[in-house]
């Protein structure tokens, strides 16, 4: 009873008017140094997520190709099985014919033939029969060999497909883990700190761009886009404002290489799916020779890509939480430049208009006679 009374008394004191309760301590805002460290960690996580996204996209593309190969093998097996059934039917008909003839070899039947002309006809028919039998048996053996080879190919392709699916699942988990870690770091910031973080990000990009421009990287860059490049740039810039989504190729959302893939598809050129494969497979050009439509590959691991649109600017899908946008081409670490339509020259300049022919002077009016 005494303990209960004490608890009630304490509760009453705490709820009495005029008795202030201690407010929880407000978290101390992060210093510029602490915020810079958060930015470094977030940026590193998003870059690792992009690398994992590339691994996922590559596995996805391989899976699609392997599934197509398995479909083609299945179609070949169906055709070979149909041929095998027909050949077996022919072989069965030959066996039944021989049984009806009492199993007597054709040579014996010819020797017993007393008609000379009939004998010669029998020789010709026997030879044809032998060739037909050999042809059917040979075709049976060849078709069986084809079926065996298709079965072996299918087993190997299926094993590769299972490995690719495993790699894709691992890459998906890696992407999600990196993105979750980055979002967690950002969510722990107060609204004011998140705004400071965004400004820090923008300032860093602006400084990098300014330094790149001062280096004279664009001093001699005067390349004109090819016709296909113009179409690719037009498509990419039309997507400005659409959200980034890892693994997406449009039409509503894109990741960085999904945007360049679809843009160059609109330009009539097929290119690899990932930024790493774009860097590995497409022809490289010097920055001084860069022209609109070229792809700029970023970071040492080639984990990001943007499309050059001219005047030192790229269009790209930056990262989760951001939209397709324009940015300084030098705002990130450039690995190099590749050209999807390297075999195509810049568009032909428009022919100057022919000058208009000068108008013929009017004939002077005849003067009136003053007779």
Q: Just list the catalytic residues.
A: 256, 304, 316
Which structure tokens are listed for 105?
């070899």
DSSP E strands, 148-271: none
Say which DSSP state 287 is in: G
- Residue 262 contacts residue 324 (beta carbons within 8 Å): no
Q: Which helix (H) or strand (E) holds 327?
A: strand 325-328
For 306, phi then psi, to 5°, come to -135, 165
Find out whether 291 and 229 touch, Cβ atoms under 8 Å: yes
Q: How far apart are the first and last CA of the chain?
A: 150
Rounded to whole angstroms, what are the CA distances from 320 to 42, 142, 196, 233, 302?
11, 56, 18, 22, 18
Q: Locate all alpha helices (DSSP H) within 239-288, ordered by sequence.
A: 256-266, 275-281
Residue owning tokens 């980055």: 182
Place of tokens 């066996």: 95
Nearest Cα neighbor of 217 from 62, 337, 41 is 337
């Amino acid at each position: 009873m005494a303990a209960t009374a004490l608890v009630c008394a304490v509760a009453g004191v705490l709820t009495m008017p005029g008795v202030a309760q201690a407010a929880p301590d407000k978290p101390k805002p992060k210093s510029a140094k602490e915020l810079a460290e958060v930015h470094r960690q977030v940026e590193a996580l998003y870059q690792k997520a992009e690398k994992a996204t590339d691994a996922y996209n590559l596995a996805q593309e391989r899976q699609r190709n392997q599934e197509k190969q398995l479909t083609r093998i299945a179609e070949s097996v169906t055709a070979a099985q149909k041929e095998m059934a027909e050949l077996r039917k022919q072989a069965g008909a030959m066996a039944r014919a021989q049984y009806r003839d009492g199993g007597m070899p054709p040579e014996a039947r010819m020797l017993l033939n007393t008609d000379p002309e009939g004998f010669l006809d029998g020789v010709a028919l026997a030879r044809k029969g032998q060739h037909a039998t050999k042809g059917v048996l040979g075709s049976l053996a060849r078709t069986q060999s084809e079926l065996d080879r298709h079965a072996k190919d299918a087993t190997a392709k299926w094993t590769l497909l299972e490995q690719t699916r495993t790699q894709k699942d691992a890459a998906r988990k890696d992407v999600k883990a990196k993105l979750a870690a980055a979002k967690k770091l950002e969510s722990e910031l107060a609204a004011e700190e998140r705004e400071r973080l965004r400004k820090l990000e923008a300032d860093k990009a602006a400084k990098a761009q300014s330094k790149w421009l001062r280096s004279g990287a664009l001093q001699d860059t005067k390349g004109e886009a090819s016709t296909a490049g113009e179409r690719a740039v037009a498509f990419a810039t039309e997507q400005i404002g659409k959200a980034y989504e890892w693994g997406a190729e449009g039409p509503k959302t894109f990741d960085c290489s999904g945007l360049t893939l679809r843009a160059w598809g609109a330009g009539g050129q097929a290119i690899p799916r990932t930024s790493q494969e774009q860097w590995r497979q497409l022809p490289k050009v010097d920055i001084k020779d860069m022209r609109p439509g070229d792809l700029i590959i970023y970071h040492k691991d080639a984990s990001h890509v943007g499309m050059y649109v001219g005047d030192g600017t790229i269009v790209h899908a930056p990262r989760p939480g951001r939209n397709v946008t324009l940015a300084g081409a030098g705002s990130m670490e450039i690995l190099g430049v590749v050209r999807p339509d390297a075999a195509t020259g810049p568009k032909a300049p428009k022919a100057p208009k022919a000058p208009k022919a000068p108008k013929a002077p009017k004939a002077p009016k005849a003067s009136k006679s003053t007779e």
